[in-house]
Amino acid sequence: VLHATRPLHTAQQCLAPLPPLPEKGGEVRYGLIPEEFFQFLYPKTGVTGPYMLGTGLLLYFLSKEIYVINHETVAAACILSVIIYGVKKFGSDVAAFADKLNEEKVAKALAVKNEAIKDLETAIEQEKKEQWRVEGRSYLFDAKRNNIAMLLETNYRERLLMVYNEVKKRLDYQVAMQNLKRQKEQDHMIQWVEKNVIQSITPQQQKESIAKCILDLKALSKSAQAVV
Amino acid sequence: GPLSKRRLMDVRLGELPAWLATCDFSPQGLLGGVQKAWNSYYDKYINVKRGGPAGISMLLAGYCLLSYGWNYQHISK
């Protein structure tokens, strides 16, 4: 929340992007006197006016010794001639070099700008792709729901199986117990019966039965011999 | 526009004293005036894409004249 107790937007609005620099500077004649001066004097004195003015002023300064001619004048003349010769000869080269430097700077800035634009465009593409992916959300959730349902089903069946197994084990135990009990009872009863029967066989009965067996065997052997 | 807001070049010759009266001659005012003058000169002759020798040569010429004027007493002996 902006507590605006001071007035906003009071400074001059800065134009962005900045307006481009002008191509050429103000016109200057002979490198020293701006064109405006010549244009200023043109309506009254025509084309030669400023030159006449200059010549007159020069002669006036010289004659009245406002401008004295001494050794410095010669030095100034030599220096000026050298400077003018240098500028005339190497001016264009220096200008081309400076222009090249400027070009490189501008190209670098442009490259950065294009890079940024390209990155943003790829970001936009990816964003659109993500938005397209969002549409597939329903399928994703269906698959997840199916997964979970399957997990639940599996778990339920496992537990069901476990319950079944436990119950069966307990019932088998009961059945085994009953079988064991009956078995034991049977065995016990058979043994008891056999013991009693053996006890009841008197010695005399044993002799009689052995004699009967021998007679039977003889009879059998006779019938067997006859068959052979 | 009003007299005080006009630049020096747009002031007519007869209005010059009146225009001078509206000027701000305090130190800040003078400094502001110098700053504006330098900014206008700079934007016109130096801060361009393809400048020439004109920008600094006029400054150097002005400096020559000024130093000659300061040393005139010494030179004219």
Secondary structure (H, E, C), chain B:
CCHHHCCHHHCCCCCHHHHHHHCCCCHHHHHHHHHHHHHHHHHHHHCCCECCCHHHHHHHHHHHHHHHHHCHHHHCC
Residue range A75-118, pLDDT digits in tens: 999 999 999 999 899 988 998 998 999 899 999 999 999 999 99
| Chain B residues with CB-CB distance to A76 below 8 A | 64
Residues of B in contact with A26 (CB under 8 A): 44-45, 54
B47 in reach of chain A (CB within 8 A): yes
Contact call for residues A61 and A67 (beta carbons, < 8 A)? yes
In a domain, A167, yes or no: no
Residue closest to A36 by CA, chosen among B38, B56, B9: B9
Q: What is the pLDDT of residues B12-71, one digit of tens each?
A: 777 777 777 777 788 888 888 889 889 888 888 888 888 778 888 889 999 999 998 898
Asked if omega into A17 is within 30° of 0 (cis), the reply is yes
pTM attached to this predicted model: 0.55
Q: How many helices (H) and strands (E) does chain A have?
A: 5, 2
Classify residue A30 by its DSSP letter: T
Number of CB atoms found within 10 A of residue A67's CB: 16
Range of the domain at A49: 27-68
Rg, chain B, Cα only: 17
Check CB contact of B37 with chain A, cutoff 8 Å: no
Range of the domain at B63: 3-76
Q: Domain for residue A62, yes or no? A: yes
- Looking at the domain assignment, is residue A31 inside a domain? yes
Report the Cα B53 to chain-centroid distance in Å.
Answer: 19
Count: domains in chain A: 1
Q: How many domains, in total, are found in chain B? A: 1
Q: Token pair for residue A49?
A: 């006016």
pLDDT tens digits for range A127-184: 999 999 888 888 899 999 999 999 999 999 999 999 999 999 999 999 999 999 999 9
A vs B, Cβ pairs < 8 A, gives 54
The residue among B8, B12, B46, B48 with the most chain A CBs within 10 A of its CB, best to mutate, is B48
Alpha helices in A20-70 (DSSP H): 35-45, 49-63
ipTM above 0.90, yes or no: no
B77 contact residues in A (CB cutoff 8 A): none
Q: Residue A132: inside a domain, yes or no? A: no
